[in-house]
């Protein structure tokens, strides 16, 4: 088991990790029955039928029990066998084509594969298992051997979704940014639909099969969500987008776990946060960096800004272009009571009190549990002018509430730079301190033009202006979706520090 102390796992994110946290759990859940389907091969599977300690998500510091003895075996030969089986498992789980980066998955899949291989496999059996794994790699065909692709990306930004399914009456595709789901049509047992052209960015979607939500079985890129079951598709632009990996120096993303005394409902009390350090952080040990705390939205997790938003690449690219200053970015799990993740929206009974209980109280979590750890372990500025706070949706509401209503040591608050992207302003208390007294360096409030929160945000901006606050209002084409928030982040960080 992972010890409940702060642990650090540093790794380069060569691309976004599409199947971590809750999303990776969905992938693991769907893969596990398949993995155990080899139990009928007694000559290949030996002794153990459980993953033991090795199938838990944690940092590289996680301790695992030693594998049980499997009789006499060559250590060199066994090591080679394990690598062979592991590679073939990656092929089967969709990693070999790059959809799940092997180096980026320090959580469930790599420990799962290692444990599976080390506990189950004789070295002399590895070749047979590898062959079976590759032969059973997921492939959907119809007609005369035509391979199904879903989603299929067209050059003009349209997406074609496909699902092979018989015996159902209706299949819909709820796609981020659309008011109504796309309705699929069926031909020869294959359901399909093509969207209108989409703006570049990251989108989530699912299949509603006779009213039941499902992941796209042909797409193993999954959103890390506590609440919703969604697949992910990334629509590129005509050139590299700021949130995409390009050939520039890259920073590192570090994953930390800690025991929270303040957050309710965490399994084992374990919470987490990610920390981005810019290129050159380790080399320039005398440099102290400004810090941005970046908060996610409701139902999502600490990995949201890297997995979905590509925040680490945004900073890499803008720093390389000289458009943003090198900074440390902290992306924490943003809840004070995990019960709120059972809520799907404002129509749910008790949504208002549940979301409110996760906005104002989060200040204590951030400032009393997370910030002291960051300031002890990273070379960051500890002054107000060296701290920024921003977030999307629920995280935007938390940022506004904390930035506008926290007194700090001198009455001006702990943060001089505040950003809110599509914030839930109906749940934010207006400040009692005037704009001039608050002395903010930047108050940036943005929202999508197709977002239901647009008018509440406009009203909130007007109320702040009447209190003497200087606000930079930004309206971006799009709804309550990642392409809006990705652009918001790009614009916001260029104005910091």
Structure tokens belonging to residue 206: 């699912």
| Model pLDDT, residue 364 | 95
| Stated pTM of the model | 0.73
The residues that bridge with 164 in the sheet, in sequence order, are 190
Each residue of 305-348: pLDDT tens digit? 999 999 999 999 999 999 999 999 999 999 999 999 988 777 78
- pLDDT confidence bin for 145, thresholds 50/70/90: low
Each residue of 52-103: pLDDT tens digit? 333 333 333 333 223 333 333 334 444 444 454 454 454 444 433 333 343 3
Q: Is 179 strand, coil or helix? A: coil
Domain with CATH 3.40.50.1820 in the chain: 252-493
Each residue of 470-480: pLDDT tens digit? 999 999 999 99
Report which of 170, 165, 207, 175 is spatially closest to residue 185, judged by C-alpha positions.
170
Distance CA 298, CA 285 (A): 36
Q: Which of 148-157, 212-221, 400-409 has the lowest mean pLDDT?
A: 400-409
Q: Which of 93-97, 111-115, 285-289, 295-299 has the lowest mean pLDDT?
A: 93-97
Report which of 322, 290, 309 is spatially closest to residue 496, judged by C-alpha positions.
290
Name the helix (H) or strand (E) containing 23.
helix 21-36
Q: Positive or negative, the Cα torsion across 342, 347, 353, 356? A: positive
| Model pLDDT, residue 472 | 97
Q: Is the pLDDT assigned to residue 120 strictly greater than 70?
A: no
Per the model's pLDDT, the better-predicted residue between 35 and 147 turns out to be 147
**Distance set, CA 51 to CA 68, 113, 116, 325 (Å):** 11, 9, 6, 45
Give CATH for domain 252-493. Answer: 3.40.50.1820
Phi, psi dihedral angles at 448 (to 5 degrees) = -75, 145
Q: Is the pLDDT assigned to residue 213 strictly greater than 90?
A: yes
Q: Is the pLDDT assigned to residue 444 strictly greater than 80?
A: yes
Q: Is the pLDDT assigned to residue 279 strictly greater than 50?
A: yes
387-392 and 291-295 beta bridge pairing: parallel
Average pLDDT over residues 38-45: 31
| Model pLDDT, residue 406 | 84
Does the domain at residues 141-217 carry the CATH identifier 2.60.40.10? Answer: yes
| Model pLDDT, residue 409 | 66
| Model pLDDT, residue 265 | 93
| Model pLDDT, residue 32 | 36
Average pLDDT over residues 443-451: 97
Would you say 148 and 190 are in contact if contact means Cβ atoms under 8 Å apart? yes
Q: Which of 243-257, 293-307, 347-361 has the lowest mean pLDDT?
A: 347-361
What's 433's DSSP letter?
A: S
Q: Is the pLDDT assigned to residue 367 strictly greater than 50?
A: yes
Average pLDDT, the chain: 78
Each residue of 185-206: pLDDT tens digit? 999 999 999 999 999 999 999 9
| Model pLDDT, residue 129 | 52
Domain with CATH 2.60.40.10 in the chain: 141-217
Q: Which of 45-49, 71-75, 283-287, 467-471 has the lowest mean pLDDT?
A: 45-49
Each residue of 459-472: pLDDT tens digit? 999 999 999 999 99
Q: Is 142 strand, coil or helix? A: strand
| Model pLDDT, residue 342 | 85
Q: Is 310 strand, coil or helix? A: coil
Buried b (16+ CB within 10 A) or exposed e, 342-368: ebeeeeeeebeebbbbbbbbbbebbee
| Model pLDDT, residue 272 | 97
Number of other CB atoms surrounding residue 41 within 10 Å: 12
What stretches of 281-382 show up as alpha helix (H) in DSSP?
Answer: 304-307, 311-320, 351-356, 362-365, 371-377
Greatest mean pLDDT range, 17-26, 358-367, 429-438: 358-367
Structure tokens belonging to residue 89: 């498992």
Distance CA 497, CA 491 (A): 13
Q: Is 392 strand, coil or helix? A: strand
* Neighbouring residues of 17: CB distance < 8 A, sequence distance ≥ 6: 100, 101, 104, 105, 303, 306, 307
């Amino acid at each position: 088991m992972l010890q409940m102390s702060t642990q650090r796992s540093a790794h380069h994110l060569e691309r976004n990790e599409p199947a971590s946290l809750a999303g990776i759990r969905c992938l693991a859940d769907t893969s596990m029955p398949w993995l155990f389907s080899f139990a009928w091969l007694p000559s290949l599977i030996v002794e153990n039928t459980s993953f033991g300690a090795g199938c838990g998500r944690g940092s590289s510091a996680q301790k695992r029990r030693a594998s049980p003895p499997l009789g006499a075996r060559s250590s060199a030969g066994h090591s080679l066998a394990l690598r062979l089986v592991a590679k073939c498992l990656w092929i089967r789980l969709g990693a070999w084509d790059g959809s799940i980066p092997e180096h980026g998955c320090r959580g469930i899949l790599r420990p799962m594969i290692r444990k599976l291989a080390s506990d189950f496999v004789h070295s002399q059996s590895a070749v047979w298992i590898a062959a079976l794994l590759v032969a059973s790699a997921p492939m959907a065909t119809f007609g005369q051997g035509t391979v199904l692709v879903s989603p299929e990306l067209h050059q003009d930004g349209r997406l074609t979704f496909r699902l092979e399914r018989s015996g159902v009456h209706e299949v819909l595709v709820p796609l981020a940014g659309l008011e109504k789901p796309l309705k699929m049509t069926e031909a020869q047992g294959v359901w399909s639909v093509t969207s209108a052209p989409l703006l570049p960015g990251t989108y989530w979607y699912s299949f509603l099969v006779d009213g039941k939500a499902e992941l796209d079985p042909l797409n193993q890129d999954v959103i890390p969500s506590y609440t919703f079951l969604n697949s992910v598709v990334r629509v590129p632009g005509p050139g590299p987008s700021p949130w995409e990996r390009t050939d520039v120096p890259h920073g590192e993303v570090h994953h930390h776990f800690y025991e929270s005394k303040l957050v309710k409902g965490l399994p084992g009390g374990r919470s987490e946060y990610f920390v981005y350090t810019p290129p050159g952080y380790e080399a320039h040990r005398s440099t102290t960096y400004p810090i941005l705390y970046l908060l996610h939205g409701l139902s999502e997790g600490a990995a949201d800004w890297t997995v979905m938003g590509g925040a680490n690449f945004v900073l890499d690219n803008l720093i390389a272009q000289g458009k943003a200053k090198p900074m440390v970015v902290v992306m924490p799990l943003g809840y004070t009571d995990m019960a709120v993740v059972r809520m799907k929206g404002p129509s749910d009974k008790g949504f208002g009190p549940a979301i409110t209980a996760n906005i104002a109280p989060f200040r204590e979590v951030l400032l009393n549990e997370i910030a002291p750890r960051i300031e002890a372990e990273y070379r960051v500025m500890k002054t107000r002018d060296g701290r920024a706070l921003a977030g999307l949706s629920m995280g935007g509401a938390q940022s506004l509430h904390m930035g506008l209503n926290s007194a700090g040591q001198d009455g001006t608050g702990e943060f001089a730079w505040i950003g809110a992207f599509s914030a839930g302003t109906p749940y934010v208390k207006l400040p009692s301190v005037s704009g001039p007294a608050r002395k903010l360096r930047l108050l940036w409030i943005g929202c999508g033009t197709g977002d239901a929160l647009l008018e509440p945000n406009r009203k909130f901006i007007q109320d702040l202006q009447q209190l003497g606050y200087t606000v930079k209002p930004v309206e971006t084409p799009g709804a309550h979706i990642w392409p809006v928030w990705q652009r918001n982040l790009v614009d916001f960080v260029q104005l910091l520090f």
